[in-house]
Chains A and B, each alone.
Chain A
Amino acid sequence: MDSNLRIAVFNEKGIVPVTVVHLTGVLDWKTHQNFEDKAFEAIAAGADNLLIDMGGVDFMGSAGIRALHAIARRIRTAGPGGATGRMALLNPSEAAMRVLKTVGLDSYFGVHDNLAEALKSF
């Protein structure tokens, strides 16, 4: 199990522009800050619809909750003129879903199985 987290940020065009943050590797206390920083950079650059692709997360601990919490709070005022931005999760791995379900976050975020469906949700 790699102890690094690789993060790719790219834009998709659905009904509205959506910024996808793709995670691969371990989301723990060593790596969560890098995830937060990359998401914050995207928000600062104008992203107000964030889709977090968690299909490649090999391991996620409570640090992942902290990161999602921080990003969700930041995106809430990321829309034009401080309007509410939106955030959803794509295809969480078994390891990610285990944490999300145990603390009830799976019912708080929109969780989608595939990209097309996720893009339509924004």
Chain B
Amino acid sequence: MSGPRPLQLAAHFDSLKPIREFILESAHSAGLGQESSGELLLAVDEAATNIIMHGCPQGGCTIELEFRSYPDACVVHIRDDAPLFDPTALDDPDLHIPPMERDTPGGFGVYLFKHLVDEASYRTTPDGRNELTLLKRIS
């Protein structure tokens, strides 16, 4: 197991660029392929965006990203101190409804991060924070 030092940033849209750079650099160092790296990048961006938009819209929260590299997988732990919420428990949007027929195109962010990784799991950390764990296998 290896990985860079965890990244801590304010839960703000300005943090998405350094979050994306952190994931891309970490995935490259871990040897994750281009397609898988792109999928993991999008998944983490959507998870972080969800925290910024829905978990802590008033600001003042911190997002922590920990990237772990294993021989067969990359794992990203995304922790935040917003009110406790399990995004993996949300139902998927019904993709049989043409998106343009929907009044509001909601639910796609969570759908994306759940479906672009091999495993997505949630827990509350011992110190009372949200922790979303995304696993992408190295094929």
Contacts and interface: CB of A to CB of B under 8 A. Distances in A.
- Give chain B's interface residue range (CB within 8 Å of chain A): 20 to 34
Contacts of B39: 98
Given A30-B13, A61-B49, A102 B98 contact: no
Interface of A: 1, 3, 26, 28-30, 59, 61-63, 65-66, 69, 72-73, 76, 94-95, 98-99, 102-105, 108
Nearest to A67: B105
A31 B61 CA distance: 22
A104 B24 CA distance: 25
5 contacts: A30-B14, A62-B108, A94-B38, A98-B38, A108-B100
Contact of B20 (A1, A66, A99, A105): A1
Given A1-B20, A29-B53, A69-B105, A105 B99 contact: yes
A104 B87 CA distance: 21
B95 interface: yes
Contacts of B38: 94-95, 98
A28 B100 contact: no
Q: Which 9 A-B pairs have the closest CB atoms?
A: A62-B109, A3-B17, A69-B105, A62-B108, A72-B100, A30-B13, A104-B95, A65-B108, A66-B105
Contacts of A26: 17
A1 B25 CA distance: 11
